[in-house]
Structure 1
Amino acid sequence: MNHTDPVQLVALGQGYQALVFDAPGAANLLDRLTLATLSSCLHRLSSQPPSGLLLFSKKTHFILGADIKEFLPAFAGPHHQLVSWLEQARILFNQLEDLPCPTVALLQGHVLGGGTELALACDYRMASQDTLMGLPETRLGILPGFGGCVRLPRLIGLDPALAWILEGTPRPAAQLLAEGAVDGICATTDLQQAGLTLLTRASTGELDWRARRPARLQPLALPVSEQQLTLQLARQRLASAPAQGEAPARAIAALAASLNQPRAAAQQTEQHHFLQLCPRPQTRHLIGHFLSLQAKQRQRPTRNVSSLSLVGGGLMGQDLADWALERGLQVRLYEADTARRATLAESLAQRWQSLPAAGQAARWQHLQLLERPEQLADSPWVLEAIDEELAAKQALWQTLESLLPEPALLVSTTSSLGIAPQARGLRHPERLAGMHFSQSLVELVLPAAMAAAQRQQLVDLARQLGKVPLQVADGPGFLVNRLRFAYLAAFLELVARGISPYRLDALMTRQFGWPQGPARLLDEMGLANARQILCQLTSQLSDRFARPATDPLSTHLQAGRGGRHQGAGFYRYAHGQPIPDPAWRDDTLKAPPDDSLTLQLLLPLLEEAALCLEEKVVASAAELDEAMRLGAGFPAFRGGPCAYLDDYGLARLLDEVDALALPHPRYRHPALSRRLALAESRGYPEVSSCNRP
């Protein structure tokens, strides 16, 4: 066997052997080469069984699962090759499970996907204190396909197994031990000795390893009535949560069908359900999203950013300060309003009260609250987070331009105002950039005349703050808010027509998959802020963003219901939890069906997406989709607005909307019609071309 093989078979003495995983790269993956090498090792072990077998990794992590980069080519390839790949893994794991000797897996770091399924095929598992173990496959649009759906419920029970598979969240070592997924925990430095001790106890007969195996090979030892109740509760929990695509429901179906089958039949059932998911567009979208995130996470700042200067102590300013302090940056924060400045320290203290004492002390040690703007004079850059008022921002920039040395950058965190209008009156408008923070995304507006080194500084700052940077063109709302508020404007129109906001929230979360419905989203951002942004977009873009004559935002604001931070908005809030207002009465007999409401909510967003591509607000459809996933929470399993258009079919969408005969300008879809004409003129078999960069 070559010493560079990803799996080595090593003699340990006393008749014991070890399968040592040590791939040439940074991490162990169950790629095709590793599976082929593992097959060779297991063939030797089957022909000459040892007294006991250890499995361990020479890497920081045990095994991170299959190589996800191999998934999409495999799923798009010939069906028989995909089946062969699954059967190869199943045969190998069964060979390991059937060895006539005790087997112990030594787990450390991350143990994910196929790595977990390999460990489940062993008789015992010993974990280091830093172990995180889980089955994240449903987050990729698939389900465990190397035996995880079969082995896990037989090891830890049906209810916790369902939680593992449906949530996809890795479990820490203490939880693994409590649930019975591992047999012990120790320090990483003691892991191999602990494994050898466990192996010796099993091989000498102190532990009856043979008694463990029948439970993994036979149907689940749980009455059918209890199985059905547990499965039904899992379906109900899934139905009440935001939609995640087909994979979670398919995983429940796979478990339901396989629980009462012996191993061979149960694994065939698991494979059948796995294969049903492989060709789904949502699977392609989720895997593509995962690979894109991985690539972004590998991008590091070209130089570390050590300090951040801020103007504005409101919610946005406090958020920015918090992100920076969490990452060890020195932060200087200036708030011009005397009353707000007086309560700023108290507000920050309330934010940090749940942190341990050392964490709170570190925050205060790295934070300086300033009394005068002159104290910012030596800053390399200053970010503003003041109110969304153009005149106020222009005045601030003119003050700071006179205070800061010429190379220093001025950065607006505006959510709706363009950067060029803010720069009017500056001697050096090229010094003013935009950074719109939205969830895990930062939209960067970088003036053409800005030096390349300064552009890179802002990219580095975004990455240092743990955000993904994306350059967009200057303009009202930039990209994310322009699309998001087109959707919110449509929501307000429907509410004004008498549709319950709670029905629309349920529709957009439980059926479409947004993490929050539009009413909850408006409550979170604040209704006064949302109204201001809509007014700005209407005046600067078009009446597509106009609020209805009977405006729910204004109605709530007049009643003192400004959103979650005021205790009430569309919802009332008790201890932070939203409670629907019982005064709403949705006449479901007159209200349009769900499909019609979904179209009316989404079409304005899709229209703006097409317009943004035409206007080159963003470089490509792929970047637009990524921005909406990262910045607005667009459901990853739907890919993004452009991918959704491709999957739905543009011609079908337009026909369905035309049949509704909606009068508002936002439903005239000129941009989508132009894209349809363009696609047809190029002879595309599918009329939509949004997903082609």
Structure 2
Amino acid sequence: MSEYVTVTHEGGIAIIMIDNPPVNAMSFHLRQPLYKAIEAARDDASVEGVVLACAGRTFVSGADISEFGSEKALASPSLPELCSLLESLPKPVVAAIHGTTLGGGLELAMSCHYRVADKGAKVGLPEVKLGLLPGAGGTIRLPRLTGPETAVKMIVSGTPIGAAQALAAGVVDAVVESDLTAEAVKFAKGKATEGGPHIPVSARDDKLVAARNDLAAFDAAAKEATKKSRGLDAPLACAQSVRNAITLPFDEALAKERELFIKLVSGDQSRAQRHLFFAEREAAKVPGIGKDVQPRNIAKVGVIGAGTMGGGIAMAFVNGGLPVTILEMSDEALDRGFATIEKNYGISVSRGSLTEEAKAKRMASFSRTTDYADLSDCDLIIEAVFEEMSVKKDVFAKIEAVAKPGAILATNTSYLDVDAIAANTSRPQDVIGLHFFSPANVMKLLEIVRGKETAADVVLTALQLGRKIAKVPVVVGVCHGFVGNRMLGARGEDLEALLLEGASPEQIDRVFTDFGFVMGPFAMWDLAGLDIGWRNRKSLGKTAVIGDAVCEMGRFGQKTGKGMYLYENGSRTPKPDPEIAALIEDKTKELGIARREISDQEIIERTIYPMVNEGARILEEKIAARPSDIDIVWINGYGFPVGKGGPMFWADLEGLSKIVAQLDHWHAKTGKAVFDPAPLLRSLAETGGSFAAMKA
């Protein structure tokens, strides 16, 4: 019928084959011929049943996200219209599912009477991760297949499930070992021979009966599913829509779902989350690395340091399927490190996310040594030692002495000059920064720091390796603190001044949590340990009026039970402490500062605005290739709220002219360089430009 849809017939069964590479997304140019093919099968008296299948590596992977917000997304035939047409067929319709059948793809499959899946298939409704809910019946049909409690968990989490689990849950009717299309045709012939009735999913209410009689179990499941969704609209809308499937007739619930979808898709949160979806893919495109560049082979990794960071990095590589040799200065240090690794895996086993067998296999992938020579067969060696240049250079001299030709030499430094470290070796082309975030086995971000002489194939290898170990890699340039920590420094530059002028730690932290951060800066410092910042300030010859005084009182945060807050009886919950309030008052008087009431908006202007400003400077200096790379760094490494899309995306929404005007105001008032608008930021504000429009 078209290049995207073909129809063949086999013994009375019409096989409608979709072929829209690479992932059979439900684009407008596909929906048109597919609708016609379904109509033709409906109207052909010789057709006894229909199999809906897909060429390539997957069944329909979902809607075409690039069409969201455009006329094509809603143009007829829409996905809901396709689903309605499929359900209306009086003949059995079987979806032949393989690959990743997600979002609109699963909605299409659920509109068929039956679903046959390949054993390797995965199904799910991940729209929530784009700030949306399924908009073509997903929240109304899935509860009818699985029951509403299972459905709300699947939809709110957005996490796909495998074929076996889908069969057990009722999402699919059969799982086959091989020749999916042939098995689906066989299944359709059997159903045609039986003669029906072929009951559409929309008419199946048996799994809703219990919830309709008593909503308590569903409401408890919905509350559990959405408990980590603070500040996000989509998870709550998903739960509400599943509840509508219980309490409203099908057509009414379907209409409500569509209303919710349209409201979400036009909102800032979904725009932000869709921005992040594409930004993560853009981050993989590094200027200057062409298709002719080939990655190096990484079969074994060496990690220097078995402490919190080194152990976490080693776990990340082993979790990604790579054997790791860990080096420490003593057997005692190795014993401590391996005990922590085993404890961490033990926690995963106790939670059910890892089996004992898998734990044993991972532990067997580690080897230990105190001799640098044992790293000579490693393809990548990464150090995670003390953050001091002399220590790093000493370690790199030892690495270089044993590393084989072509091995990648990596530093996990958070701030230091990677070029200076590389210059201390005879092979700077092999040196790269791999900045993991603690705990490295959990945190998603990997800042890949490209030195001025780092080879292109080393950068490409690091990118591919980052994805292999389930990280979100972003390539950045060399400067103090790179992207994330440099902007973090700008965000915190005026915090003490805010305290001295009238704000309290709890007000500032509340402003941050209201903004969408999980924790405010003072609670975060207490968690990390105030003594770390104190020690760093001393080494740099810097001081902090409040921060130093708090540390001199022996208040280092949660580990001492007192920091910027009070932690009673081992609790991790911060409580305002009158002793800190009194300390701030005393220091204010000593400095002759008149305290005043400080608004929440002022706190945003003196913390988040400077962070955006520093991001603009980073772009000017080409430390980051594009604004969206900065957003990916802050979303995945620093807890910037997902619903705001990252600091540079948020800045566009906030208004660049507004940000520049207030930065000018605070620069005039304080004289601090952190408030002096970057030329790029000022230029964009004056010309009506945006960060979103900038390209690498």
**TM-score of the superposition, structure 2-length normalised?**
0.78
Q: Output one character per residue of 1:427-464: Cα deviation in whole Å (capped at 9) or x when no partner.
A: 67666542212443433334434555555555555455
Q: Output one character per residue of 1:494-549: Cα deviation in whole Å (capped at 9) or x when no partner.
A: 6788977677666545x43445554665466555445555667x76xxx8xx7452
* Structure 1 residue 470 displacement after superposition: 3.6
- Amino acid in structure 1 at the alignment position of 2:88: D
Q: 2:483 aligns with which of 464, 479, 494?
A: 479
1:241 aligns with 2:229: yes
Q: 1:308 aligns with which of 301, 305, 314?
A: 301
1:142 aligns with 2:142: no
Contact 1:493 1:547 in 2 (8 A): no
* Equivalent in the alignment of 1:638: 644
* Equivalent in the alignment of 2:34: 38
Q: 2:74 aligns with which of 80, 83, 101?
A: 83
- Amino acid in structure 2 at the alignment position of 1:135: L
Question: CA 1:449–1:597 in structure 2 vs 1: closer, same or farther (change >3 Å)?
Answer: closer
1:11 aligns with 2:13: no
Question: CA 1:9–1:555 in structure 2 vs 1: closer, same or farther (change >3 Å)?
Answer: farther
* Secondary structure of 1:54 counterpart: strand
Q: 1:685 and 1:329 mapped to 2: Cα distance?
A: 49
Q: Output one character per residue of 1:264-323: Cα deviation in whole Å (capped at 9) or x when no partner.
A: 555444333333334444433322322343466799972421122222111221122222
Higher mean C-alpha deviation, range 419-428 or range 221-230? 221-230
* Equivalent in the alignment of 1:209: 198
* Secondary structure of 1:476 counterpart: coil
* Secondary structure of 1:580 counterpart: coil
* Secondary structure of 1:209 counterpart: coil
Q: 1:496 and 1:621 mapped to 2: Cα distance?
A: 33
Q: 2:214 and 2:672 mapped to 1: Cα distance?
A: 51
Q: 2:315 aligns with which of 308, 318, 322?
A: 322
Q: 1:424 and 1:413 mapped to 2: Cα distance?
A: 16
* Structure 1 residue 415 displacement after superposition: 0.9
Contact 1:107 1:128 in 2 (8 A): yes
The percent identity for this pair of structures is 26
* Secondary structure of 1:332 counterpart: strand
Q: Output one character per residue of 1:7-34: Cα deviation in whole Å (capped at 9) or x when no partner.
A: 4434342x4x244434153433222232
* Secondary structure of 1:671 counterpart: coil
Question: CA 1:311–1:492 in structure 2 vs 1: closer, same or farther (change >3 Å)?
Answer: farther
1:351 aligns with 2:344: yes
Question: CA 1:301–1:560 in structure 2 vs 1: closer, same or farther (change >3 Å)?
Answer: farther
Higher mean C-alpha deviation, range 257-266 or range 657-666? 657-666
* Equivalent in the alignment of 1:692: 694
* Equivalent in the alignment of 1:437: 436
Question: CA 1:561–1:524 in structure 2 vs 1: closer, same or farther (change >3 Å)?
Answer: closer
1:611 aligns with 2:617: yes
Question: CA 1:238–1:83 in structure 2 vs 1: closer, same or farther (change >3 Å)?
Answer: same
* Equivalent in the alignment of 1:397: 396
* Secondary structure of 1:35 counterpart: helix
* Structure 1 residue 561 displacement after superposition: 4.5
Contact 1:202 1:208 in 2 (8 A): no
The correspondence of residues 220-369 of structure 1 with structure 2, limited to 5 A, is 234=222, 238=226, 241-244=229-232, 246-251=233-238, 264=251, 266-294=253-281, 302-337=295-330, 339-353=332-346, 354=349, 355-356=354-355, 358-369=357-368
Q: Output one character per residue of 1:364-383: Cα deviation in whole Å (capped at 9) or x when no partner.
A: 54433122234445656532
Contact 2:28 2:73 in 1 (8 A): no
Q: 2:211 and 2:424 mapped to 1: Cα distance?
A: 77
Question: CA 1:190–1:253 in structure 2 vs 1: closer, same or farther (change >3 Å)?
Answer: closer
Q: 1:390 and 1:268 mapped to 2: Cα distance?
A: 62
Q: 1:278 and 1:479 mapped to 2: Cα distance?
A: 30
Q: 1:679 aligns with which of 684, 690, 693?
A: 684
* Structure 1 residue 610 displacement after superposition: 2.5
Question: CA 1:357–1:92 in structure 2 vs 1: closer, same or farther (change >3 Å)?
Answer: closer
Q: 1:224 and 1:463 mapped to 2: Cα distance?
A: 44
* Secondary structure of 1:44 counterpart: helix
1:25 aligns with 2:21: yes
Question: CA 1:127–1:495 in structure 2 vs 1: closer, same or farther (change >3 Å)?
Answer: farther
- Amino acid in structure 2 at the alignment position of 1:241: S
* Equivalent in the alignment of 2:65: 68
Q: Output one character per residue of 1:623-671: Cα deviation in whole Å (capped at 9) or x when no partner.
A: 3223323433433442322221111012334556788999777696112
Backbone CA RMSD of aligned residues? 4.6
* Structure 1 residue 61 displacement after superposition: 3.1
- Amino acid in structure 1 at the alignment position of 2:74: V
**TM-score of the superposition, structure 1-length normalised?**
0.79
Q: 2:143 and 2:152 mapped to 1: Cα distance?
A: 8
* Equivalent in the alignment of 2:97: 107
* Secondary structure of 2:303 counterpart: strand
* Structure 1 residue 60 displacement after superposition: 4.6
Contact 1:528 1:562 in 2 (8 A): no
Contact 1:109 1:132 in 2 (8 A): yes
Higher mean C-alpha deviation, range 488-497 or range 353-362? 488-497
Higher mean C-alpha deviation, range 39-48 or range 120-129? 120-129
